[in-house]
Amino acid sequence: DIQLTQSPSSLSASVEDRVSITCRASQSISNYVNWYQQQPGKAPKLLIYTASSLKRGVPSRFTGSGSGTEFTLTISSLQPEDFATYYCQQTYNMPPTFGQGTKVEI
């Protein structure tokens, strides 16, 4: 199975801060990475697919980048509703795997 390692595991930030989360894969996975946001007690929501494509309706302050083994989710100006846990997922091959999550706290 392909392992995904997210860093940091948690971070503290303030409103309007720029935040970046890294996802590293145990092997090259091209651009087959997706990012999800999960707010406490809620189901995950898709933010970005194939590394850099923004899902329709997701604010443009969310951007994804990377290819190969290293990927980044960036929030350009953190908003109160962005405090949540973020997961990366690879769909390069079966089984699809998730990172361990990054919790963004105030």
Partner 1 sequence: QITLKESGPTQVKPTQTLTLTCTFSGFSLSTSGVGVGWIRQPPGKALEWLALIYWDDDKRYSPSLKSRLTITKDTSKNQVVLTMTDMDPVDTATYYCAPTDARGGWFDPWGQGTLVTVSS
Between 17 and 72, name the residue whose CB sits nearer to partner 1: 72
Q: How near is the Cβ of 13 to partner 1 at its closest, in Å? A: 21
Cα dihedral sign for 30, 54, 3, 6?
positive
Q: How near is the Cβ of 15 to partner 1 at its closest, in Å? A: 26
For residue 2, the tally of other CB atoms under 10 A from its CB is 18
- Which residue is associated with the tokens 């494509």? 53
Between 14 and 94, name the residue whose CB sits nearer to partner 1: 94
Between 15 and 46, name the residue whose CB sits nearer to partner 1: 46
State the residues that interact with partner 1 by CB under 8 A: 1, 32, 34, 36, 43-46, 49-50, 55, 87, 89, 91, 94-101
Residue type, 106: I
Between 75 and 89, name the residue whose CB sits nearer to partner 1: 89
Contact at 8 Å (CB) between 99 and 2?
Answer: no
Q: How near is the Cβ of 101 to partner 1 at its closest, in Å? A: 5
Strand order in the sheet with 62-67: 4-7, 19-25, 70-75, 62-67
